[in-house]
Structure 1
Amino acid sequence: MIMTLVIRERRHRQALRLSLPKPQITSSSHNFLNQTQRPSLITSPSSHGIRSLLDLEKVAVLGHGNGGIVYKVHHKKNNSFYALKVLNFDRNGIGFRQPPTLEAEILKRVVDSPYIVRCHAVFYDHANVTPTLQTKGVSGDLSFVMEYMEGGSLHDILQQHRRLPEEVICVLAKSVLEGLNYLHGMNIVHRDIKPSNLLVNEKGEVKIADFGVSHVVEGRFEANDMNAGTCAYMSPERFDLERWGGENVDEFVGDVWSLGVVMLECLLGHFPLIGPQQRPDWATLMCAICFGERLEMPEKASEEFQSFVRRCLEKDWRKRGTVLELLKHPFVKRNSCCSNKVMRDYVLCR
């Protein structure tokens, strides 16, 4: 009974923190408002000759989410395929967890890692934005021309195969760790590592995508920023800063927790932290992540896999494994982790 009251009290207190903050007006937003009404190229990290959205022909819808749509598009001039992510700011003023222009700023930085989905160009169009949205720092629709990943997402692969063998999971783990090492080295916390944000191309290469809730760490820790992301993959300190946080929380190890959840999900074939009959709502996830007992690993899991996941899923962030430590872990030092062939075979046989 006492535990129930504590959980209920924490739930109500934490629910207040989950309210969406109003987007802040930034200098970048003001600059966007002064642009012309025609969709224009605002940044071109690696343009591949992409100078206009008019050169792109929509082929198919790849997915929806986070206020936008992702299309497969064909570039008529260079005869290449790309993924076009369009963030739509509607007239009702439905906000985002942070100014969408921040995602564009982050994508301008992450241009030279083989473990991050590459952004080739970013366009914006504010022709349909109301004055109300403009006062909130929303400058218009943003369109991101991204590298096209033929194999789809890890979520798609799990839908097809349900579970993956360890020789595939170790390739996946190593690639994500390399991507996180690159991001963290640039003071970027991804904050939304999950199967749908891990994409695979026809070569079997795994890359991190979607920086819609990512954060650039610039000294002072901001407690309000901890709630961005997908609840199911959040670390304990992001759910309950009072119990699991403390002073000087290392924001980067939240990404490590998320990776551990994804790896265990790949082996089990289902989300690992709650039972199949439990509803994955906020309260259930918070109880499981913050108060759940020690994880029971499947008997078939190797000792190396179990050790790796346990290092990721330490509830106390101070004891959790770091990206650099885990890159040296025996699980990702296996011979099979040196090649993308196993992952490629899984992608190609779909």
Structure 2
Amino acid sequence: MEGGPAVCCQDPRTELVERVAAIDVAHLEETDGSPEPTRNCVDPPPRARAVSVIPGSALRHPAARPSLSARKFSLQERPAGSCLEAQAGPYATGPASHISPRAWRRPTIESHHVAISDAEDCVQLNQYKLQSEIGKGAYGVVRLAYNESEDRHYAMKVLSKKKLLKQYGFPRRPPPRGSQAAQGGPAKQLLPLERVYQEIAILKKLDHVNVVKLFEVLDDPAEDNLYLVFDLLRKGPVMEVPCDKPFPEEQARLYLRDIILGLEYLHYQKIIHRDIKPSNLLLGDDGHVKIADFGVSNQFEGNDAQLSSTAGTPAFMAPEAISDSGQSFSGKALDVWATGVTLYCFVYGKCPFIDDYILALHRKIKNEAVVFPEEPKVSEELKDLILKMLDKNPETRIGVPDIKLHPWVTKNGEEPLPSEEEHCSVVEVTEEEVKNSVKLIPSWTTVERRVWRRR
């Protein structure tokens, strides 16, 4: 949009197609030549996610990137920078008196008005005014969306349905719970896009303080786009890696407690995230860390997912996921490994295994032992937990229930985490909910014609 016309001066279809076509760009761009907003001293993240800063926040010029290869950017998360400083005040999951992280969430929004605004700085999509682009990723762009009736901003992902239907997109789950297949009857064969809608129906009902909330999904049946409306998290990622100022050990402990509760909730809902890392952990206004970005997630039936494909960020992949054995591997253990790498990042500001080349990185992950730097000093209890989470054998790797009981996590039992029963309840979806999981909207051509006639 630099040096270009205002959004509404362009053909809306062309404008959105151009944005989706540009989704492989792995960094944020400045809008209209102005400096990018920062998120509490954290540079805006490179991937699309449900987060940004409202225009009008404090601004600064982005720091110059170090001279690193594009490959290195793909293996790790970000160029060197500072971390989000620890937040002052009591933390919700810290005190032993904390009972349950569940919070009231309002039901999914539905709207019946479709129009394109005459405004010079936005496109209107239903009740949302689409404003500046705030992120890009593998499946689409993220735009700031304003709901005037609520006086509230959201993050709207504009996703390509074609890309979602590929190997690393949404539609990788078994028949819906409660279906004939689950009751022993014949499984219903779903079309690819029906599987996408089924997945969305599950994601819309996820309700946990440590998981980013999906509010609404809009679908233009004549176009390639899906529009996903997420909660907007103003503070951004909890950390960008590598980082010059890692967290104090206590702050890392509090953040890990949130991550473990969110992960336990996802596993309870039979969802494997597959891409846990600091830039996919967003800090909400309530001080809670929330798990985001389900672009490569899997759902499963039974006790655990048995996976065989590779997905996620290279530096956070488990040894079994990059093995040449061809054997399937546990999804839950995969998430624990990535959380262990994340915990290491929290206290050291970098990944435990680093290399510029993918094959060398894989070799280190599979063969080299975890090394703890001399600085900063961390407790032996923390080192013990990291080693158990980064056990190269998924069969003996510590699981989420045991992480919750680890002495470092609970301060030797003084601050226990809530039980699974206290903060988890199963999400069931009906056929009707799958059918209504996406709000259909007229094609841009139809809407443009209506707007032209009103003029």
Q: Secondary structure at the match of 1:86?
A: strand
Note if contact 1:167-1:336 (Cα within 8 Å) is conserved in structure 2. Answer: no
Match of 2:378 in 1: 301
Note if contact 2:299-2:305 (Cα within 8 Å) is conserved in structure 1. Answer: no
Note if contact 2:110-2:216 (Cα within 8 Å) is conserved in structure 1. Answer: no
Give, in angstroms, the shift of residue 216 of structure 1: 0.8
Separation of aligned partners in 1, 2:272 and 2:164? 27
Equivalent residues in 2 for 1:53-92, closer than 5 Å: 53-89=125-161
Separation of aligned partners in 2, 1:183 and 1:95? 23
Match of 1:108 in 2: 204
| 1:118 aligns to 2:227 (yes or no) | no
Note if contact 1:67-1:87 (Cα within 8 Å) is conserved in structure 2. Answer: yes
Number of aligned pairs? 272
Q: Secondary structure at the match of 1:252?
A: helix
Q: Say which of 201, 218, 239 aligns to 2:284.
A: 201
Instruction: Give deviations 1:68-99, integer Å, cap 9, x for gaps.
Output: 11222211111112111111357x99945235
| 1:46 aligns to 2:126 (yes or no) | no
| 1:231 aligns to 2:314 (yes or no) | yes
Note if contact 1:103-1:212 (Cα within 8 Å) is conserved in structure 2. Answer: no
Structure number with the higher helix fraction is 1
Separation of aligned partners in 2, 1:58 and 1:304? 48
Give, in angstroms, the shift of residue 234 of structure 1: 1.0
Give, in angstroms, the shift of residue 229 of structure 1: 1.6
| 1:175 aligns to 2:243 (yes or no) | no
Separation of aligned partners in 2, 1:269 and 1:172? 14
| 1:98 aligns to 2:178 (yes or no) | no
Match of 1:142 in 2: 226
Q: Secondary structure at the match of 2:285?
A: coil
Equivalent residues in 2 for 1:258-337, closer than 5 Å: 258-274=338-354, 278-279=355-356, 281-292=357-368, 294-299=369-374, 300-334=377-411
**4+ runs deviating over 6 angstroms:** 335-338
Of 233-242 and 321-330, more deviation after overlay is shown by 233-242
Note if contact 1:308-1:329 (Cα within 8 Å) is conserved in structure 2. Answer: yes
TM (normalized to structure 1)?
0.70
Equivalent residues in 2 for 1:179-190, closer than 5 Å: 179-190=262-273
Counterpart residue identity of residue 268, structure 1: Y
Give, in angstroms, the shift of residue 144 of structure 1: 1.1
Of 65-74 and 183-192, more deviation after overlay is shown by 65-74
Instruction: Give deviations 1:120-164, integer Å, cap 9, x for gaps.
Output: 111112323xxxxxxxxxxx31111111111101235x6776311
Larger radius of gyration: 2
| 1:253 aligns to 2:333 (yes or no) | yes
Note if contact 2:170-2:297 (Cα within 8 Å) is conserved in structure 1. Answer: no
Separation of aligned partners in 2, 1:159 and 1:253? 24
Identity of aligned residues (%): 31
Separation of aligned partners in 2, 1:328 and 1:304? 12
Counterparts in 2 of 1:159 and 1:236: CA distance versus 1, 3 Å: closer
Q: Secondary structure at the match of 1:180?
A: helix
Which consecutive residues of structure 2, in runs of 5 or more, have no partner in the other structure?
Answer: 1-104, 114-124, 172-195, 418-455
Instruction: Give deviations 1:152-180, integer Å, cap 9, x for gaps.
Output: 01235x67763111111111111110011
Instruction: Give deviations 1:214-269, integer Å, cap 9, x for gaps.
Output: 11112596544x31222221111111162xx857x322110000001011112111
Of 77-86 and 56-65, more deviation after overlay is shown by 56-65
Match of 1:9 in 2: none
Give, in angstroms, the shift of residue 194 of structure 1: 1.0
Separation of aligned partners in 1, 2:202 and 2:108? 16
| 1:213 aligns to 2:293 (yes or no) | no
Once superposed, what is the RMSD of the aligned Cα atoms?
Answer: 2.9
Give, in angstroms, the shift of residue 45 of structure 1: 8.5
TM (normalized to structure 2)?
0.54
Separation of aligned partners in 1, 2:257 and 2:164? 40
Q: Secondary structure at the match of 2:226?
A: strand
Separation of aligned partners in 2, 1:75 and 1:93? 26
Q: Secondary structure at the match of 1:227?
A: coil
Of 327-336 and 116-125, more deviation after overlay is shown by 327-336
Counterparts in 2 of 1:221 and 1:150: CA distance versus 1, 3 Å: closer
